């Protein structure tokens, strides 16, 4: 096919490139925080029915049996920057939070053997590094200052194995060791009107730390007919936490009581805090949702690929320490396109959703309680 003959397909890819854009946020309310691997990242993560390289160790280990050769792949440090704005999040003012991280994203290796394919991969599924200094001045001359640090890293590392069970069917499994570490510090000072209508400064400091370790198995199945025109993939995974430690400390000082039972009220001693500095410790094992990914891929020719994924996450119960709302079941979708201009240059584009798992009613009830 000549370059002139490829122009219609190339225009379709360029249109897709400018149309398929998406942005995810990294927090406990979303699941598609980071798209793993260079090729899947260019296709919006629609990769379950492809998975024929080292990225397949994470998306669908059954696909690594289709890798053309033994290979090693690594995504170098990924620069990631995001900003979230909560409209009206602080009274009448907007509340903005920035995060900037430089993270190693992915490493994988595949080796073919007479019995099938084996592999090993290291994945940073989520990384957050927020350092925020905020100041608000309200119309009534009161003010607020907040210094926030929130650091989260989630790691998956482990082996994979895959083999062919029939002419068109392949199966595989990845067994990851799971580790998560989060540190959260929120120092908040604000002014309120006290006695004689004088402004008084209230102060609160909240510190929490969460460490979790466990395992995350991924079971994959791939149906790929010999003609190579299409493929269908399915993967099933869930994180099981075996060990967890949570630490929390709350320190505060309120010269003006915020309510009848305000534990921070310091009428008799306005200098020293009334709450703190005891550090509480718990061993709550969080409940993570089961994830089911269904993918479809279509290859019109050797240069062109279209793919689509549906990701289902089931509900997860609250644990009152790591998160205190019912995670509702959600479905995310992804579509991707890949077009090779020549054997060494490909254009990719993708679109994906990252829906929130918040059960709004349950979250409101937990906050009231």
**pLDDT digits 0-9 by tens, 114-139:** 989 999 999 988 877 777 888 878 77
Least confident of 11-15, 167-171, 345-349: 11-15
CA triple 352-237-153, angle to 5 deg: 70
User: For position 66, what pLDDT does the model report?
Assistant: 92
Mean pLDDT across the stretch 89-105?
A: 61
The confidence score (pLDDT) of residue 143 equals: 87
* Residue 366 backbone zone (phi > 0: left; psi -120 to 50: alpha; other: beta): alpha
Reported as a pLDDT band with limits 50, 70 and 90, residue 8 is very low
What pTM value is reported for the model? 0.81
- Report domain extents, the chain: 23-300+322-327
pLDDT at 20: 34
Contacts of 86 (CB under 8 A, 6+ apart): 94, 95, 96, 97
Sign of torsion over alpha carbons 61, 65, 67, 71:
positive
For the segment 18-51, what is each residue's pLDDT rounded down to a tens digit?
333 333 334 678 888 778 888 998 999 999 999 9
**When comparing pLDDT for 251 and 91, which is higher?**
251
Residue 364 has pLDDT above 90, yes or no: no
**CA separation for the pair 55, 32 (Å, rounded):** 16
Which candidate, 273, 333, 278, 277, places its Cα nearest to that of 309?
333
Residues 109, 122: contact at Cβ < 8 Å?
no
pLDDT of residue 346: 92
Average pLDDT over residues 237-262: 88
For the cut 80, the answer to whether the pLDDT of residue 271 exceeds it is no
Q: Per-residue pLDDT tens for 143-194? A: 888 888 888 889 999 999 999 998 899 999 999 999 999 999 999 898 888 7
Mean pLDDT score of the chain, rounded to an integer? 82
User: Distance (Å, rounded) from C-alpha 105 to C-alpha 126?
Assistant: 9
């Amino acid at each position: 096919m000549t370059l002139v003959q490829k122009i219609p397909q190339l225009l379709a890819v360029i249109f897709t490139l400018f149309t398929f854009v998406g942005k995810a946020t990294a927090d406990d309310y979303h699941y598609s925080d980071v798209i793993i691997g260079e090729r899947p990242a260019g296709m919006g993560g629609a990769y379950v029915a492809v998975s024929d390289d080292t990225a397949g160790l994470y998306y669908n280990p059954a696909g690594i049996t289709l890798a053309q050769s033994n290979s090693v792949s690594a995504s170098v440090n990924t620069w990631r920057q995001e900003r979230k704005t909560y409209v009206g999040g602080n009274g009448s003012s907007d509340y903005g939070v920035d995060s900037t991280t430089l993270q190693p994203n992915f490493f994988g290796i595949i080796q073919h053997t007479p019995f099938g394919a084996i592999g090993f991969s290291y994945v940073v599924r989520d990384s957050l590094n927020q350092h925020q200094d905020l100041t608000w001045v309200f119309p009534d001359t009161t003010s607020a200052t907040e210094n926030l640090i929130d650091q989260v890293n989630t790691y998956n590392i482990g082996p994979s194995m895959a083999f062919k069970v029939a002419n068109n069917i392949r199966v595989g499994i990845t067994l990851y060791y799971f580790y998560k570490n989060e540190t959260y510090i929120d120092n908040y000072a604000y002014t309120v009107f006290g006695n004689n209508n004088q402004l008084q400064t209230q102060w609160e400091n909240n510190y929490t730390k969460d460490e979790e370790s466990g395992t995350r198995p991924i079971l994959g199945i791939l149906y790929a007919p010999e003609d190579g025109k299409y493929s269908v993939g399915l993967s099933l995974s869930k994180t099981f936490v075996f060990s967890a430690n949570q630490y929390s400390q709350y320190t505060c000082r309120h010269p003006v009581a915020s309510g009848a039972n305000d534990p921070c009220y310091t009428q008799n001693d306005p200098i020293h805090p009334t709450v703190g500095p005891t550090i509480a410790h718990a061993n709550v094992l969080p409940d993570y949702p089961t994830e089911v990914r269904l993918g479809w891929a279509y290859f019109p020719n050797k240069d062109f690929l279209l793919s689509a994924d549906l990701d289902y996450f089931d509900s997860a119960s609250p644990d009152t320490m790591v998160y205190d709302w019912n995670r509702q079941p959600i479905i995310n979708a992804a579509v991707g396109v890949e077009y090779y201009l020549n054997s060494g240059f490909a254009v990719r584009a993708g679109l994906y959703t990252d829906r929130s798992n918040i059960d709004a009613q349950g979250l409101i009830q937990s906050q009231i309680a």
